[in-house]
């Protein structure tokens, strides 16, 4: 396994692979890896085969954090990440420094961004208006550096995956986007690097997210179609039972277009964001 830290070295390597017709699978992350990330690595390996290359990037992308968010506190542990990658058979970790991705040369600072203008305005985009422009910009840059044939994203960030798919289609990136299922802890909590912020009591309270999803799932699979308003009220009531939890949003939408649905039937996607203390957690499921 190699670690590459500069954009130029990554792109040189990727071009060499391309000339040699080596298949490349790519897993972009912000590091502090958990079993969810590693499941994406395994999927990438499966897709490119034993002779392909799997690249995992670790980059805490400042452009996708608002000034009020947790950029400087975001958990990092490169040594541990590297160990996990090695044991999963990752070929290259691409871990660029911050200046590497957004050069700040006086008079010639980074000034180009990629903006998806529809899906980015919904849900996460309402709460975090500059978030997805950071995500699409960094992913576009990473695609240009790693030149992957396949890129694997997690369903945990459902809206993000939909936006990346749209960007790839709209800008003709020659990349196949694959979305892998959300990995959960035994008790249902979706794995996330941000779970590290939770104290013991908050960790328990964080179960309201998966509980709310399960409650809605059972409700919709059993009975007649429910209204989104009704399900939203039930979710709010459930979240209110946890003293440190505050519902940011809950949404019911078409999984392809992300269009909000008033009538909720099986197959509709449900997503929610909840603050537990100061930690903002997200989760989603197909009902
Ligand atoms: P992050 O490091 O949080 O930016 O996530 C990097 C990639 O891992 C994204 O495609 C996420 O959707 C995916 N991911 C994060 N958590 C999980 C999880 N619990 N299960 C599956 N994929 C995940």
Same domain for 107 and 214? no
Listed residues 180, 206, 228: the one ending a domain: 180
Listed residues 117, 146, 180: the one ending a domain: 180
Instruction: Spell out a b/e string for 75-102, using b for 16 or more CB atoms within 10 Å of the CB, else e.
Output: eeeeeebbebbeebebbbbbbbeeebbb
pLDDT one-digit tens code per residue, 208-217: 999 999 999 9
Same domain for 117 and 162? yes
Nearest CA to ligand 1 atom 5: 29
Same domain for 97 and 151? yes
- pTM for this predicted structure: 0.97
Same domain for 68 and 21? yes
- Beta carbon of 154 within 6 Å of any ligand 1 atom: yes
How many angstroms separate the alpha carbon of residue 33 from the centre of ligand 1? Answer: 9
3-state secondary structure of 27: strand
What CATH number did the domain enclosing 144 receive?
3.40.50.620
Inside any domain, residue 48? yes
pLDDT one-digit tens code per residue, 125-147: 999 999 999 999 999 999 999 99
Widest CA span of the chain, in angstroms? 62
- Beta carbon of 279 within 6 Å of any ligand 1 atom: no
Task: Tell me the residue range of the domain where 274 lies.
Answer: 193-286
Inside any domain, residue 21? yes
- Beta carbon of 273 within 6 Å of any ligand 1 atom: no
Q: Is 37 in the active site?
A: yes
Report the nearest atom of ligand 1 relative to the CA of 192: 16
Same domain for 128 and 209? no
> What's the pLDDT band for 183 if we cut at 50, 70, 90?
very high
What CATH number did the domain enclosing 227 receive?
3.30.1300.10
Report the nearest atom of ligand 1 relative to the CA of 32: 2
Of these residues, 34, 37, 51, 131, which one is catalytic?
37
- Give me the pLDDT at residue 15, please: 98
How many angstroms separate the alpha carbon of residue 193 from the centre of ligand 1? Answer: 9
**Count of domains for the chain:** 2
Same domain for 129 and 243? no
Report the nearest atom of ligand 1 relative to the CA of 152: 10
- Beta carbon of 191 within 6 Å of any ligand 1 atom: yes
- Beta carbon of 193 within 6 Å of any ligand 1 atom: yes
Give, for ligand 1, the residue of 132, 154, 163, 185 to mutate: max count of ligand atoms closer than 8 Å to Cβ: 154
Strand ranges for 86-175 from DSSP E? 92-94, 150-154
Q: Is the pLDDT of residue 99 over 90?
A: no
3-state secondary structure of 192: coil
Q: Is the pLDDT of residue 39 over 90?
A: yes
Same domain for 81 and 176? yes
């Amino acid at each position: 396994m190699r670690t590459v830290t500069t954009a130029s070295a990554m792109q040189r390597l990727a071009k060499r692979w391309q000339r040699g017709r080596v298949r490349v699978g790519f897993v972009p992350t912000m590091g502090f890896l958990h079993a969810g990330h590693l499941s994406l690595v395994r999927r990438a390996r499966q897709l490119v085969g034993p002779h392909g290359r799997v690249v995992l990037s670790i980059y805490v992308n400042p452009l996708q954090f608002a000034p009020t968010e947790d950029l400087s506190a975001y958990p990092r542990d490169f040594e541990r990440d590297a160990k996990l990658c090695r044991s999963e058979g990752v070929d290259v970790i691409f871990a660029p420094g911050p200046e590497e991705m957004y050069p700040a040369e006086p008079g010639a600072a980074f000034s180009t961004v990629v903006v998806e203008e529809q899906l980015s305005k919904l849900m996460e985009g309402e709460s975090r208006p500059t978030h997805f422009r950071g995500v699409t910009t960094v992913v576009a840059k990473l695609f240009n550096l790693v030149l992957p044939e396949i890129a694997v994203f997690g369903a945990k960030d459902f809206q993000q995956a939909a936006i990346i798919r749209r960007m790839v289609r709209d800008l003709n990136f020659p990349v196949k986007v694959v979305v892998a299922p959300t990995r959960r802890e035994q008790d249902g909590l979706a794995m996330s690097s941000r779970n590290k912020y939770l104290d013991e009591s908050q960790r328990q309270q964080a179960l309201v997210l998966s509980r709310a999803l399960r409650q809605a799932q059972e409700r919709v699979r059993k009975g007649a179609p429910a209204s989104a308003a009704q399900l939203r009220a039930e979710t709010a009531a459930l979240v209110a039972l946890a003293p440190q939890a505050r519902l940011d949003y809950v949404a019911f939408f078409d999984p392809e277009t992300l269009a909000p649905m008033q009538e909720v039937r099986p197959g509709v996607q449900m997503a929610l964001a909840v603050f537990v203390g100061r930690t903002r957690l997200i989760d989603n499921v197909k009902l």
